[in-house]
Chains A and B, each alone.
Chain A
Amino acid sequence: MTVQTLTTDVLIVGGGPAGTSAALSLLNYSDATVMIVEQSDYNNTRVGEHISSSLFDILKYLKINKDDFEPGSFIPSYGNTAYWGSNQPTSTESIFTVETSTFQLDRDKFDFKLVEQVAERGGIVFPRTKCLNYLFLENNEWEITLKHPEKGEFTVLAKYLIDATGRQASVCRQIGAPSTKIDSLMGVGAFFKIKEGHKLNQNQVLETNEFGWWYNAVLPDKTIVTTLFSDADIISEYKLNQNDTWYDLLQSTNLIKHKLKDTLSLSKKVWVRNACTQISDSSFHNNFIAIGDAASSFDPISSMGIGFAMSSACNAARIIKHQLLEKDPKRVVSYQKDVSNNFDNYLRIRKQFYQQEKRWSSSIFWKRRN
């Protein structure tokens, strides 16, 4: 059986904000052809993030107006509360935020718009498609084997490969790019639906405990996400990923338990998601670059994820445009340096955040961060 082979200049693995931003940059500012491989069917729930208004500058660069997005894509956030470092509630801005006005993203609406723009500008998107194998050929091109559940296997030949697979950094891992892990933070959470006839303000609540901290946010479609962040070893030792333990702990929160009074649980059992801080090295391999969470991933407390995903994507796209013309590996080295600088800066900010909580001095989670 002959396997169908397609060619492209750039193959982007991952169709989230990083992957689509890289695609849009390339489509806007170069002649490169672009393909995106997304393994999901875009039907999974993506947790919205708190973003700063500087995101609109990046969108402008990607030639998308704020008004192009559906109404409700960006919800101004207000009245955010934190029990962080004190038994008295304070506003989160006073503790964490570097910039002033912040927004809550509707990730469905936001991500869909970006994907649609990629398609509209001539990018090819393969949803529900998995990458089975990456082969770096002698002519410095990539041969990637892909598989779609109905169309079967096919091959793409690409001059350049981008890892935009998020925290998993699956491409990095498969081709052996080194990465450094700073912590093993994970979120254990559940979704709740606000009952008919009840209303809740679009706000966020943060509360610490000896194991880590709780995050509670109202999402745009009348759902609430509640997550307990802690380290993997602590989660496993105290069985924080079991329904019973998780709900018991939830009952000992100050404010969050009240937020969930008029809700129905949407998750049969609590889910676990990776939220670790780590950095990968993109300069490791020719004609390869990692962007977004795959390049470096941040503690969600920093609200840096989406901003970095999109800005690193734009930077990477600029480098790829030049590299496709002149093949100068130094540029990737300078990209990697920028990523590292940004990461060091983030680590400082992270330390500042965690140092404001001194109440759990004997707890291993807080000791690790103070």
Chain B
Amino acid sequence: MNLKISPSVGVARLGNSPQQFCLSPDTIGGLPFEADAFGNKKGTIIQFKDDSGQVRRQGQLFKIFNEDGTEITLESTNVNSIVWTAHLANKKAAWYQYSELEGNLLYGNENSYSNRKVPFRNPEITDEKNRQQLIIDPGPRTISGVRQSIGFDENNVPAGYPSSYPPNEVDYGSSITTLGDLLTDDEGRLIVLGGYGHAGGNEPLTSYGGSNTWHDDISDGPVYCTITFNDNTPTVELQAWVIVGSPDFAPEIVNISTLSDSMFDVGVRKFNLVPEMFADGDYLPSYVANYQRDILPIIKRLGAYQWVSNVQSMMAFTSNVFDFSDPSETNKANRTNYFSYFRKANDKLNPSPNQPQEKLFKENGSDIFPMMPLNSGSNSVSNETIEKFLALNETQLFLFEQWVNGNFVNNPQFTPYAISEIDMASVGNCVGLPMCPGIEVTWSLQNENIYSAPYIISDQKGKNGYNTTGLTPSRDECEGGGCEPGDLTKRMACPWQADFFQCTIQYINFSDPEINKDTRLQTDTLVTKKTWQQSGAEYSSTEVTTTESKEPLPPSYYTYWWPPQSPWDVLSGELTLEKQQESYLPAGQQMNYARGINSFTQMVEHWSALAFIRNNNAQDQGFPYFTETERNNELFSFKEVGIGTISGNSEDNETTIPVFFIEENSEKIKEKSERAKKMVAFLEKRAFKSIKISGKTLGTPRSGTRSRR
């Protein structure tokens, strides 16, 4: 028997609903699934939020498959037991400050953290033992049988494990007590649930990378499975990995370059995944690409960005100006021209600044058109190791070249690659490019050293490998030797809300390949002159003020980061009188997605108020209609502010600007009665004393009665 866990790298997502959860999609761009309280998978998700408007956690279901594709569960006749172990950890607070591409060893050893002198997060804590305490490490958890559950909280730490949790008291946000839960369903499959989106710290948040003293409840780590049999089949040990990401607010919209594309690219170039395509260090021009499998999905993704961002040039680029599927020689000029608009990838090891990804436009005489994809690259922020604009990854670009050369077929019945659909789907719903740091994981996933095989994360010490030592705070797994729990997510912003809030769009300088940001010095001179009329006496003074600010060097271009994960321009979708009164908007108006969330702190507290962008016409493929759904409109207040209030000219008030904000006072008004709260708490304690709710604290998922708009 040749068994494997699938997905090989699962993706769960945070949610703040205390009871309810759903399950991760099993196709790229698919919707999550409903599940009962034990994690048994049901139909397509009905609502992303619970009754009180809190986002449901998204659990990753792990299954075991035989190589012939049959699933092995506790119901399988010869299976005696299936024992699952997972070890989640969050190493963010112990890792280096996020510093764009600095530390990425794909740029050579001179770009290592130490050579670039990148500071640690929480740098005042210096010795290794104390830095280890910065890791949220609950240790491993083991579960077996059906309908079981165990939490990654302090009460369930394995005896003797040197666990560490962040402080209970924080000045901002909320403290972290758990990284999630493991469940088993009715056939003993594993469900990994991540954290609740809690984040807390003591220093104000000031940057997209987060601040010192902060922690969040993102995590990742290995998943192990031991299967014993009641016939003579020897015991099987399997390993996979799980990543816990922030919520996917537009799950049906796919990134142009997904994390599956990144893993595929590494698999092709470094692990001989498709020997007909790449061998001995080079792509093979003889390889026959498939339009349906390799090209069309990318064109479709470019077009779908319109539902979450304003990139009209990408829309124009995906309209059917010619038959993309036609491999004929007569069509070659069209294909060649089309591909000439695609930006080529930078050569990471070439130190020259004049690289393709620093170029914005394709120029043709005085004509210009933004090169594709029109999106930020992995470093349009700092001046160290610049990568301004996005290019497809090398394998994606190679397949496009095959297409240009007519070396492709247009056959919907294509042979799939040697990676299962489930393995591609989980990571296919994560960002693959750009990585700055990204949403779920970052550029370390482009490095072959963290893999043991295509789509398989290399595991450093194996099951229970850290039981006496705990985890290491500063070891760089990109040097090789395998990953520890927490390694895949440790480079991400801490807390994630900081990056999510600040990084959706970027003004990117396109004139100087060596500069993203520059320091603007502004000097204002005030000359005061006084003259006395009779005596003719004079006095004059000159006051010079200088202000300094670091900003993107003009000229710049308005560019997006990862709108499918962090939407920016979306259509309002409320269709009833009541809902439109609450949202202050008609349906169909393009609005800013995060309107009303106006600070880091508000993002930390109110991220779950954001809408999910959902296709309202999903039955009919090819006619998508995406709008906001399930936004917690009641949280936000609205004012139309007359321009005159800023300009001082009352005539200007005939033009107004819509302003959305959270009225702190109105919340206090709602909470007017502390007594009511206490009374309710008392009554509930008494009334529910005798009621036992099964499945620990997990309530039933909501039924599908309410309209999902």
Contact = CB atoms under 8 A, between A and B. Distances in A.
Interface of A: 1-2, 4, 6, 35, 41-43, 108, 112, 115-116, 119, 124-128, 148-154, 221, 266, 268-269
Contacts of A119: 682-683, 686
Q: Which secondary structure dominates where chain B touches chain A?
A: loop
B254 to A, nearest CB: 34
B676 A43 contact: yes
B19 A150 contact: yes
A126 B679 contact: no
A153 B52 CA distance: 16
Interface string B683-701: 1101110111111010110
Contact of B700 (A6, A126, A153): A153
Contacts of A41: 676-677, 680
A199 to B, nearest CB: 20
A41 B671 CA distance: 11
B676 A151 contact: no
Determine which residue in A112, A128, A151, A221 has the highest number of CB atoms from chain B within 10 A of its CB, and name it: A151
B37 interface: yes
A115 B694 contact: no
Nearest to B584: A269
A43 B673 contact: yes
B677 A151 contact: no
B637 interface: yes
B598 interface: no
B550 interface: no
B41 to A, nearest CB: 16
Contact of B679 (A1, A4, A116, A150): A116
A1 B700 contact: yes
Interface string B647-684: 00000000000000001001001111101110110111
Contact of A1 (B36, B683, B691, B697): B36
B679 A112 contact: yes
24 contacts: A1-B37, A6-B691, A41-B676, A41-B677, A42-B680, A43-B680, A108-B676, A112-B675, A116-B679, A126-B683, A126-B684, A126-B687, A127-B679, A127-B680, A127-B683, A127-B687, A150-B697, A151-B684, A151-B693, A152-B693, A153-B700, A154-B691, A221-B672, A269-B581
B666 A125 contact: no
Contact of B688 (A42, A112, A151, A153): A151
Contacts of A1: 36-38, 694-695, 700
B666 A124 contact: no
Contacts of A126: 683-684, 687-688
Interface residues of B, number: 38
Contact of A112 (B671, B676, B695, B699): B676
A148 B688 CA distance: 10
A148 B693 CA distance: 11
B512 interface: no
Contacts of A42: 673, 676, 679-680
Contacts, number: 85
A42 to B, nearest CB: 4
Nearest to B581: A269
Most buried by B among A43, A115, A124: A43
Interface string B430-467: 00000000000000000000000000000000000000
A269 B638 CA distance: 10
A124 B691 CA distance: 13
Nearest to B688: A151
Given A115-B683, A124-B686, A153-B700, A43 B691 contact: no
A147 B691 CA distance: 12
Contacts of B697: 150
Nearest to A125: B683
Nearest to A115: B679
Given A6-B691, A152-B693, 6 more contacts: A43-B670, A43-B672, A43-B673, A43-B677, A43-B680, A152-B700
B51 interface: yes
A2 B682 CA distance: 26
Interface in B303-359: none
Nearest to B37: A1
B204 interface: no
Interface in B26-71: 36-38, 50-52
A35 B683 CA distance: 11
A127 B673 CA distance: 15
B637 A268 contact: yes
A230 to B, nearest CB: 17
A35 B330 CA distance: 81
Contacts of B19: 149-150, 152
Nearest to A118: B683
Contacts of A2: 694
Contact of A108 (B581, B673, B683, B686): B673
A265 to B, nearest CB: 11
Among B37, B687, B692, B695, the one with the most A-chain Cβ atoms within 10 Å of its Cβ is B687
B119 interface: no
A41 B38 CA distance: 29
B487 to A, nearest CB: 36
Contact of A151 (B637, B663, B691): B691
A192 B231 CA distance: 77
Nearest to A109: B675
Interface in B394-438: none
Name, among B19, B684, B686, B697, the residue most crowded by chain A CB atoms within 10 Å (CB to CB). Answer: B684
A51 B659 CA distance: 43
B692 A4 contact: yes
B18 interface: yes
A119 B678 CA distance: 14
B684 A128 contact: yes
Nearest to A130: B51
A221 to B, nearest CB: 8
Contacts of A35: 687
